[in-house]
Structure 1
Amino acid sequence: MTTPTTRTPTAVDAVADSYVTRIAEINPLAATAMGLSGYDHLMTDLSPAGHEASAEAGRAVLRELDRLEPADDVDRVTLAAMRERIGLELELHEAGEPLATLNNIASPVQELRDIFDVMPTGTVEAWENIAARLNALPGAVEGYITSLRTAAERGNVAAIRQVRETVTQARELAGAESFFTTFVNGPEAGAVLDDSAACSLVRKELEHGATAAREAYDTLAGFLESELAPQAPEQDAVGRDRYALFSRVFLGAEVDLDETYQWGLEELARVVAEQEAVARQIAGPGATVEDAVRVLDTDPTRKLLGTDALKAWMQETSDAAIVALNGTHFDIPDPVLTLECMIAPTQTGGIYYTPPSDDWSRPGRMWWSVPPEVTEFNTWREKTTVFHEGVPGHHLQCGQAVFARDTLNTWRRLACWVSGHGEGWALYAERLMADLGYMDDPGDRLGMLDAQRMRAARVVFDIGVHLGLPAPEQWGGGTWDAEKAWPFLKANVNMAEAFVRFEYNRYLGWPGQAPSYKVGQRLWEQTRDEAKAAAAARGAEFDAKVFHARALNLGSVGLDVLREALA
């Protein structure tokens, strides 16, 4: 990756940097996620007042930006990106959506626990911060309950499916085997907190905090079960108007939802046809995809037993990709050469990436959350995921943005994340690795196509169910609903049922997010093809390495902003 040229910060940068400081003050959990030091002992106010404070900060920064003129192209992108992102956040706020957030993957139910995965743990002070945040968690839960109540009074309650899922999660976090108990008594704490008097006090605060956190989750589970569940609708679909807003939030672009649904059906059929061709390479003439999967799943050279083997293979595969790509297809900055592969302490079935901290003391990490019943893994399925989460996927993308300190302000580097841009790039990266020859093994290629098939199926599932669109006869005809979508998803997602069930609930409870992967990939590819066409019109040769460097040096922005910036 080409090192950005140093530039003098502008008035626009100053406003953006100041806004990040304000975000950190209002939302210390976001500060920790961004890797900003000084906020780890604090807790976010999840009450309606906290949401209003965030909205007012957004209104204030837009007023400041309206008084400024861009000094250069970097400023022009910053202004466009901030107006687009903050404008959508205010639309969501005015619609009351943040108050009602409740689902199985990306709501305060998970975020209040997951933040501890990325907090520093290497010093006594770090554990003092953890203790302070644990002891503040009950107040955050109280504020969250108030927000859910307020949203319910306005008629906005998550579907009963999401309420039930989060009750189960909250009960687990409230139980005797809670993460909070194992965390404060685990080896990381033991390695730092010796028997000195000072550390004894920290341990006491940690124990108190863990108990307080468990009790808070017990309170939350009780509220969800006894008060919110009776108000929760059975219907999972959110309808066209709400969905259109969510889609714009996740993509940073406005797309024709009906056309995108039809494209999803066509893309799914195209990927399936490509899979069938690869299946015949694996299992012989006339073989089906299922036949090829059986051949691959019984191949001992493609099998990993246990999470230790999975973690070691993830690390080896990601390290090899970094070595192979650096200096050839990308110039990767030194700090980005390090990626840690981790088995997540949760067991929900998700696979995700967390970016490095601003000072690089926390490296980028790839996490695999493995359900307890899943003990075997097949490398042919998972290789493409390592490229998605690692290099050239999220780790390269996010690491490059953090590294671009000499060009990008703090908001651009750390605070702005657009799902369609980020997840779209990661899918683009998967296909890029196939195009570069890293997925030539038929098994690995089938795995890549398997992942692409799942993402295409999500476009159909998500838009079809939430908008109530017509379902193809192959999948029952009539109108899409959750019941009809389950066999469709099982047929198109080649994963253990625990993973599929988690994904199914995720799509139903987080509308618009799942399609942002495949639709984002489509928009990335369209942007690249436009750059190719422009180069040809100038009589120049398209340089993919230069295009990728230029695009990633922008940081994460809405896909409409990306296309305009690269035009």
Structure 2
Amino acid sequence: MFKKVIVLLMFGLFLAGCKNEPEQESENKKDTAAVRENFDALLQDFYDKGLALDPISATVSGDNRFNDRFPNKLSKSYNDTLKNYYKTYMERLKEFQDEDLTETQQMSKDVLNWELEMHLETLNFKNHEYFPIDQMWSVNLFMGQLASGMGAQPFKTVEDYENWLKRVEGYVKWLNTAEEKMREGMEEGYVLPKSLINKVIPQLKAMTEPDLEEHLFYKPVKNFPSNFSEEDKNRLKEQYTKMIKEKVIPAYQNLYNFMKNEYLEAGRTTSGIADIPDGEEYYKHQIKKYTTTDLTAEEIHQLGLDEVARISAQMEKVKEQVGFKGSLKEFFEYVRNNKDLMPYKQPDQVIAHFNEIYDRMKPQLNKLFDKKPKTEFEVRRTEAFRENSASAEYNPGSIDGTRPGIFYVPIPDATAYNIYSDESLFLHEAIPGHHYQISLTQENEQLPMFRKTLWYSGYGEGWALYSESLGKELGLYTDPYQYFGMLGAEMHRAVRLVVDTGLHSKGWTREEAIQYSIENEAEPKASIVSEIERYMANPGQALSYKIGQLKILELREKAKKELGDKFDIAQYHNEVLETGCIPLELLENKINAWIEKQKQS
């Protein structure tokens, strides 16, 4: 009887177990779903808190909740808050296991880990505090764009105008703190090279313009929306006048006086970042940050020398094709000064030229891309206050697509504007370069918000330079000078590998870097000088273009070789673009996985 009871009990337990298996499976599914929901909530929370910490980025992305804010990023309290923010999310990420996440979520986890580690590493260096202003990269220049009323800051409602007044309050505090930090930097050996300071001084001087009607910060007042009441117009005009005269101009005047009379005298005569405290370690950090690789300065320098030699050989062929009898260096000079390549008299003609390039390539885009962004884009002339020291650039549209992406072209003198590289420039900055890459990322509903606004130069600039190589497939480069322009642009990025590492790792002077560039590329000297000084201001950034391009080309060739007839160029481009900006190592892992999947299909 006892045995019978045991058997019945065991049989009952067995039945209960059988009954519970589906229930257990259902519970597991619920648990996994809950984990994934929690992970998505974590990413959204990271993004939302990040916008509150960086309200300018929020404005740029089209989120207008913080348009009245300008936190003092140079203050200790802000940097302590930022460090705590990064550390908190790094710890929270450890709560999630890869096997519980979707493929997209696993990528998001890897990307966020990279992002947090790099930001925390950056905060270990003092450069972000002691070099708040330079001639090209600093926030004061971008604030000028916003102040003009032609940038991301909206000026459509009365509230918009009032938001800008409040934001400028914070910005003026930042300008004052910038001087304090530069003074501290002077004491500790952190000071810009004199050549860069000499470029900043006139930029600051321009913002002390006493004629209110001509002041950049007054432009929104000159362009009130037609639906504003006279009462609002008069009130805002009075407030903006007071803001400019009593706050903006004095702040710029003080900074101008300091940089002209004290900072310049203390400026470095050396060019490379190795000459400041912890400069060598900082450059290693910058290489990793911008290339998203573990390449050394020496490896990159040699890669640059090899690429310069390869591209030079291609340039020689073009020189022979057009019948030029002199040396390649003489051909550079000929191209730079060829009046036939400077056909325009007005800036509008240059802008029209870029629009014509787009029209010519449109029929071919479908062959290479089956996904195209919905976000519109425009070509605009760079604003006068910064175009003398600016390069052509792309400013992204808003995430919701209501503000177009803008390709800015500096045209300080239309009669001297040389068009020989315009086709490659358009491919890089506009379509299918930055505009496709950024807009498709922002429009991808599968990506969490924080990945829609990330920027890794190795990927982003690598894609843009890769895009230049697509010119012939898109019906461009039929003119040998335009093809030479593409080679020139690629050479420009190869030269960057040599001169950036030369300046910051090998002790090159500014003049040595300028001379190397003059000998190996067709850019005019004034442009080369601006470029070299750009590398001096932001070490490592210039390395990202060529490193990223070579990786994307390498992965394309690998896919073609391994997939054979199964290779589809449009699908390859989808795979590269759909993830948005990610470190190159993660991109390589993704493409390798895609290749294996295609083999099995």
Give the TM-score taking structure 2 as reference length: 0.84
1:475 paired residue number: none
Cα separation, partners in 2 of 1:147 and 1:63, compared to 1, 3 Å = farther
Query: Is 1:409 aligned with 2:412?
Result: no
Name the CA distance, whole Å, in 2 between partners of 1:296 and 1:494.
6
Name the CA distance, whole Å, in 2 between partners of 1:195 and 1:290.
62
Query: Is 1:217 aligned with 2:252?
Result: yes
**SS of alignment partner, residue 417 of structure 1:** coil
1:46 paired residue number: 73
Name the CA distance, whole Å, in 2 between partners of 1:180 and 1:16.
45
Q: Is the 8 A contact 1:352 1:389 kept in 2?
A: yes
Show the 5 A alignment for 1:527-538.
527-535=555-563
- Per-residue CA deviation, residues 293-321 of structure 1 (Å, 9 max, x unaligned), is 64796464762222111122223323543
1:123 paired residue number: 157
Q: Is the 8 A contact 1:489 1:500 kept in 2?
A: yes
Name the CA distance, whole Å, in 2 between partners of 1:260 and 1:334.
34
Cα separation, partners in 2 of 1:192 and 1:311, compared to 1, 3 Å = farther
Query: Is 1:455 aligned with 2:493?
Result: yes
Q: Is the 8 A contact 2:395 2:407 kept in 1?
A: yes
Choose the corresponding residue for 1:98, options 116, 123, 128: 128
- Per-residue CA deviation, residues 257-295 of structure 1 (Å, 9 max, x unaligned), is 212211111111211221121122123566746448647
Choose the corresponding residue for 1:480, options 495, 508, 530: 508
1:356 paired residue number: 397
2:481 paired residue number: 443
Show the 5 A alignment for 1:200-279.
200-211=234-245, 212-239=247-274, 240-279=280-319
CA RMSD of aligned residues (A): 2.7
Q: Is the 8 A contact 1:121 1:188 kept in 2?
A: no
Choose the corresponding residue for 1:548, options 545, 555, 573: 573
Name the CA distance, whole Å, in 2 between partners of 1:325 and 1:35.
31
Q: Is the 8 A contact 2:324 2:331 kept in 1?
A: no
Query: Is 1:312 aligned with 2:347?
Result: no
Cα separation, partners in 2 of 1:549 and 1:114, compared to 1, 3 Å = same
The structural deviation recorded for 1:462 is 0.6
1:473 paired residue number: none
Q: Which amino acid aligns with 1:353?
A: Y
Query: Is 1:502 aligned with 2:530?
Result: yes
Q: Is the 8 A contact 1:349 1:370 kept in 2?
A: no
- Per-residue CA deviation, residues 142-182 of structure 1 (Å, 9 max, x unaligned), is 23334434444544333333333222321222234799814
Cα separation, partners in 2 of 1:299 and 1:10, compared to 1, 3 Å = farther
Cα separation, partners in 2 of 1:334 and 1:511, compared to 1, 3 Å = closer
The sequence identity of aligned pairs, in percent, is 23
Q: Which consecutive segments of 4 or more residues in structure 1 shift more than 6 A?
A: 177-180
Show the 5 A alignment for 1:79-90.
79-90=109-120
Gapped runs of 5+ residues in structure 2?
Answer: 1-32, 275-279, 593-601
The structural deviation recorded for 1:534 is 4.2
**SS of alignment partner, residue 531 of structure 2:** helix
Q: Which amino acid aligns with 1:360?
A: G
Name the CA distance, whole Å, in 1 between partners of 2:82 and 2:411.
34
Name the CA distance, whole Å, in 2 between partners of 1:183 and 1:375.
29
2:139 paired residue number: 108
1:366 paired residue number: 407
Name the CA distance, whole Å, in 1 between partners of 2:549 and 2:299.
16
Choose the corresponding residue for 1:199, options 227, 233, 237: 233
The structural deviation recorded for 1:506 is 0.6
Cα separation, partners in 2 of 1:500 and 1:285, compared to 1, 3 Å = closer
Choose the corresponding residue for 2:56, options 15, 29, 39: 29
Name the CA distance, whole Å, in 2 between partners of 1:435 and 1:368.
25
**SS of alignment partner, residue 25 of structure 1:** helix
**SS of alignment partner, residue 274 of structure 1:** helix
Q: Is the 8 A contact 2:381 2:408 kept in 1?
A: yes
The structural deviation recorded for 1:549 is 0.6
Of the structure 1 ranges 178-187 and 90-99, higher mean CA displacement relative to structure 2 is found in 178-187
Cα separation, partners in 2 of 1:551 and 1:134, compared to 1, 3 Å = same
Choose the corresponding residue for 1:20, options 42, 47, 50: 47
Gapped runs of 5+ residues in structure 1?
Answer: 1-6, 469-478
Q: Which amino acid aligns with 2:369?
A: F
Q: Rg: which structure is higher?
A: 2
2:107 paired residue number: 77
1:59 paired residue number: 87
**SS of alignment partner, residue 174 of structure 1:** coil
Of the structure 1 ranges 19-28 and 430-439, higher mean CA displacement relative to structure 2 is found in 430-439
1:471 paired residue number: none
Name the CA distance, whole Å, in 1 between partners of 2:551 and 2:493.
14
Q: Is the 8 A contact 1:23 1:54 kept in 2?
A: no
**SS of alignment partner, residue 340 of structure 1:** strand
Give the TM-score taking structure 1 as reference length: 0.88
Choose the corresponding residue for 1:162, options 177, 193, 196: 196
Show the 5 A alignment for 1:167-182.
167-176=201-210, 181-182=215-216
Cα separation, partners in 2 of 1:241 and 1:47, compared to 1, 3 Å = closer
Q: Is the 8 A contact 1:135 1:208 kept in 2?
A: no
1:140 paired residue number: 174
- Per-residue CA deviation, residues 344-387 of structure 1 (Å, 9 max, x unaligned), is 1122231111111122121111011333x564323222221011
Q: Which amino acid aligns with 1:370?
A: I
Name the CA distance, whole Å, in 2 between partners of 1:561 and 1:115.
35
Of the structure 1 ranges 384-393 and 161-170, higher mean CA displacement relative to structure 2 is found in 161-170
Choose the corresponding residue for 2:459, options 398, 403, 421: 421
Name the CA distance, whole Å, in 2 between partners of 1:300 and 1:178.
41
Cα separation, partners in 2 of 1:455 and 1:541, compared to 1, 3 Å = same
1:564 paired residue number: 589
**SS of alignment partner, residue 283 of structure 1:** coil
